[in-house]
Every structure is written in structure tokens, then in C-alpha cells.
Amino acid sequence: MKKFTNIKKQILNFSFFIIILGLNYNDINAQTTIEVGELYSFVQQPSSTVNYQLTIVSPGEITIHIDNWKSTYNWDIDYDRVYVYNSNGVPLKGNSFASESDPFLFHMIEASEGLIFNVGKADTYTISVHSGEKWGWETATMQEYEMKVTAIYCDDVYEPNDNLASASTISVGSAINAFQWRQINTEEIQGDEDWYKVSINSPGILRIELVDWTALYNWSSDYDRLFVYNSAGESIGFAGGNDFYSWMMGGGTDTDPVVIEMNLSHEGDYYLRFHAGSTTNTTPYHFSTSFTPANDIYEPNDNFATAKLISEADVWYQAYEWRSVDNSMNVADDEDYYFFNAASAGEYSLTLDGWIQILNWGTNYDRLFIYDEFENPVGASPYAALIGSTPININIPTAGKYFLRLHCGNGYSTEGYKFKLSGSLTLGIEGSYENNHLLKLYPNPVSDIITLDVEQGNSMESEVTIYNINGQLIRSKTLNQNQTQINVADLAKGIYTLVLVSGERLGVKKFIIMK
């Protein structure tokens, strides 16, 4: 639909002459309001300026369409130009021929030409259309033209998220649609920074699948990059000596996305900072995240002080070659310390399943070390190297406490490894440490209340003790009935061992507390 103006009224109220000095914003009295998507017809005198007020409801790419315009192609006289100002009176720039005194955005307008400019924020803008002198107009004495403004909006629901403090919280598995479009009240919409905060509940691999990202393949320019920060705001995951993790990330499609994976050593909050560089796009980019956990319930166990107890013989334990020390992406070179109490001297054996062998003597290969309770090496040091699935025989010289140190080398995996220790073990209490049918325990894992079923026919009073993974006594309780419940809601998550002693019989069960 066309919207017509009264020619005489427009000429009287909105026209004034402008010579090469340019348009002063303070002289603007924008009284003609126009709307996006509407078609208007206007009449304008030569060497005059008419101001239009336009409200833009979202950042985006704006196009002014002017039809039947008569252009003045002569630098020596008053030529035609278009100015655009934000609500603060700041002109939008971008024309290389403009100057501070004459900050036009477009000049020598072609008929039917689309005049395209970008806005970084929703705002009310003034469009000042200046007609130059009559030159090459033939018999025409006035500008009689049609004008229409169209917009491609870049409405990013995650904005503002230009720094760590304003990072948008996202969930693992959610789909994100956003724009490489800096939200700023000028035309300088390049250099967008999009920050996202994601929380993970264990160490593991965070995977990003990125689609429709516009990359800039130019090292000498402000190219696109991805930065990763830990919960302390420290940049982690350096790439090639630079403080970013990934770069030039374009080319991803729905069927073939750009995949970015990062190894994270700790549970907690992480920040993803997408830097758009000099690129922009009115088409949104998309990404989704997924997570593969490496949830080692024995961590931290990277030294003697944090070594974890092997409480039962010939039972498979699940762990991970995944370093969890410094809240970074450095997950290789893991050290897993365990200890056990040998009931007697003799031959014991350690069996591994799923362990990653590093078959290279010239690199940081995997090794096994054995220590006594005074942290002195037992046997050769290392005791074994290039560890595989073949059982490793361990000669224990005397009863007592011993440490196993599994050094993972350059290997790491979210698949995990299993291990079991064969031999005669004890907790340091009297009685056999053989597991038996005296006791049943459920649910397992547990978060609050654990139920014990003691073998029917057992009328004797029983003592229950609970040990943590370090072998420390946590709780004791006397049972005088065949079933009882124990509240463990106040205990930290982890692995515990419950020991029930009834007369000369001993029952042992391992259970896991999860929150």
C-alpha cells in the first residue's frame, strides 16, 4: 500500500538547502514517521533534505529501496546523499567518501538501488534524504520517488552475552540458535562475542556440533575463534601456543557439522566464548552440545595421601585413565594410587581390563609401581611397564599395608578400565574377609536410606561398621533384628564398605552413595 504526502506541506516543512558542508544533526526535525514494510510516495525539491523517522524493533540488516530517484552525478555541485542517525544523534558510518563534517552513508543514489546498512540495536533512527542540484534531470523540476524500507532481523534471544558476567546459561543437549551480530548502537556489528555457560556433573568430553557458522579464513584479519574458560574464568585448552581452543570454524551443515571436542578434568561450570571476528551473518548459526562422562569415583587419588582402598579380593573395580588435578583440559598423565592390606606374605596378582597401553619406550609410557606402607619401592621401580591384560604377579614380602601406583602415561579414555587384585586381603579386623551370604544390601547405589537384610536364623546381635574409600571408620551401629535401615544421606558421594560381624561370621558389602 502506498502512503502519499501533501507535496506543498512537505516542501514547506521539511526542506532546507544544504551545500557541501553537510547535514548537522541538530538541525534535524524529523516529523515524517515511516514504518518497515510500507511503500511511500514522496515529492522533494532539488538541493533539499527531508527527514524520516523509522523505528527498528530488532538488530538486523536494513535496506532502503528508492525508485524513480533522479541522481546528481557531479562532484563539483551539490550531489545527492543519504544520512542515517541513531536516537543519540550519532551518524552511522561506512562510506569511504564521507567525512566528519559530512557523514553521509550513501551518495549518488541509483534508481531502484537498495541502500543496505546494519544496525546493532533496536532503536528509532532518522533517515535524512538529501536531493542534489538539478543535473542531468532533463525536464524534471522535482524529485518524485517511492520509498520502502525492509528489514532482516537478527533477534538473538541470548543477547546480551558479551562477557563472562553476562554469559547465557545453556544445558547439555540443548539446541542453540544465535547470530554473529554484535548488539551495539552503531553500525559496527562485527566482532560479536557470544558467551555461554555450561555445567557438567563429572569429568569427561564435551562435544560441540556447530552448523552455519561464518568463518573468516584470513590470518591477517580478525578471524573467528572459540575460547574455553573454567569456573575461575581462566582460559584453558590452548591451541598451538594461542589462548584460543578452536578457530576458523565454518563449513558445518546439518548432516556434516563442525565437531569440536574438549577434555574436561573436573565437574563444574565452564564458559564457551564464540568470537565472530570480522564476520557477520543474517542467517543464525546453530550448535548443540553432548557430554561423555569419565566419572571416576576414586578420584582424587593422585598421590599417597589420597590413595583409595582395595577392600575386596577378586572383585572388579571400575576406574578411568583421566587426570583430574588442575581443572583444565590436561587429562593425560593420570596417576591412580590404591592401597590394600595384605593378610600374609606371598604371591598376589593384579589384572587389568581395558587399560590403554603406550607401546613406545620413547614417550610417556604406562607403568606400575609398588610401595610399602612407608612409601618405599617394593621390587623393581617401576615394577612393570607397558601394562596389558596379562595378570601381573606381585611378590609381597610380609603382611601389611601396600600401595599400587598406576601411571597412565599419555593414555586417556572415557571407556574406563577395570582391575582386580587377587590374594589374601584384610581390613585390619579379626575374621575372614571372604564375602558371603550373611548380608544383603539395597538399594545400591543409594542416596539416603540403605536397607540391610541379615541372613534369616541369625539371632545373634551384630555389629555394623562403615568405612570410606580411604579405609577410615565412618560409622558403627548395633543390630538386634533381621532387617534394619541406616540413613546415609549426610555422607558424601563415593564408595563405602559395610562390614557386619555376627559372632565368628563376617559379611562385607561395598556400596556407592550418589547425590
The answer to whether residue 298 scores a pLDDT higher than 90 is no
Indicate if the pLDDT at residue 276 is higher than 90.
Answer: yes
Whether 170 and 130 share a structural domain: no
| Nearest partner of 318 among 306, 333, 308, judged by Cα | 308
pLDDT at residue 106 greater than cutoff 70: yes
- Give the pLDDT band (50/70/90) at residue 472: confident
Q: Residue 269: inside a domain, yes or no?
A: yes
* Long-range own/partner contacts, residues 507-511 (CB < 8 A, 24 or more apart): 507/435, 507/436, 507/438, 507/439, 507/454, 508/311, 508/312, 508/427, 508/433, 508/435, 508/439, 509/435, 509/439, 509/440, 509/441, 509/444, 510/311, 510/312, 510/315, 511/441, 511/444, 511/445, 511/446, 511/450
Residue 431 lies in a domain: no
Q: Among all chains, which residue has been given the C-alpha cell 517511492?
A: 146
10 belongs to a structural domain: yes
pLDDT recorded at residue 83: 96
- Structural domain boundaries, residue 468: 439-513
Q: Confirm if 297 and 206 have CB atoms less than 8 A apart.
A: no
Whether 214 and 308 share a structural domain: no
Domain co-membership, 141 together with 18: yes
Residue 403 burial (C-beta neighbours within 10 Å; 0-12, 13-18, 19+): buried
pLDDT tens digits, residue range 365-384?
Answer: 999 999 999 999 999 999 99
Strands of 249-296 (E only): list them: 258-264, 268-275, 285-293
pLDDT score at 88: 92
pLDDT at 12: 35
Task: Clarify whether residues 142 and 195 are in a common domain.
Answer: no
Same domain, yes or no, for 107 and 32? Answer: yes
How many domains would you assign to the chain?
4
Is the pLDDT score of 431 beyond 70? Answer: no
* Whether residues 356 and 249 fall in one domain: no
pLDDT, residue 165, reads 97
457 lies in the same domain as 412: no
**What are the tens digits of pLDDT across the range 386-423?**
888 899 999 999 999 999 999 998 889 999 999 999 99
Asked whether residue 22 is domain-assigned, the answer is: yes
Q: What angle do CA 413, 415, 416 make, to 5 degrees?
A: 80
pLDDT tens digits along 281-293: 999 999 999 999 9
- 460: pLDDT confidence band, cut at 50, 70 and 90? low
Any idea what the CATH number is for the domain that residue 460 is in? Answer: 2.60.40.2550
Indicate the range of 19-23, 178-182, 367-371, 437-441 predicted with least confidence: 19-23
Evaluate whether residue 432 is within a structural domain: no
pLDDT at 14: 36
Residues 131 and 257 both lie in one domain: no
Band the pLDDT of 68: cuts 50, 70, 90. Answer: very high
**Whether residue 38 is found in the same domain as residue 110:** yes
Q: What is the average per-residue pLDDT within 445-460?
A: 79
Of the residues 362, 393, 422, the one at which a domain ends: 422
Q: CATH no. for residue 259?
A: 2.60.120.380
Which grid coordinates are listed for 440?
Answer: 544383603
pLDDT tens by residue, 117-162 = 999 999 999 999 999 999 989 899 999 999 999 999 999 999 999 9
Q: Is residue 298 domain-resident?
A: no
- Among 219-223, 237-241, 341-345, which stretch is predicted with the lowest mean pLDDT? 237-241
| 112 and 234 inside one domain | no
- The residues facing 5 across adjacent strands are none
Instruction: Mention every residue, 6+ apart, whose C-beta is less than 8 A from residue 24.
Output: none
Q: Assess whether 401 and 471 both reside in one domain.
A: no
pLDDT for residue 5 is more than 60: no
Q: 178 and 149 in one domain?
A: no
pLDDT above 70: percentage of residues in the chain: 89
- pLDDT at site 16: 34
Q: Which of 153, 179, 210 is the last residue of a domain?
A: 153
Is residue 172 within 8 Å of residue 291, measured between CB atoms?
yes
Percent of the chain surpassing pLDDT 90: 67
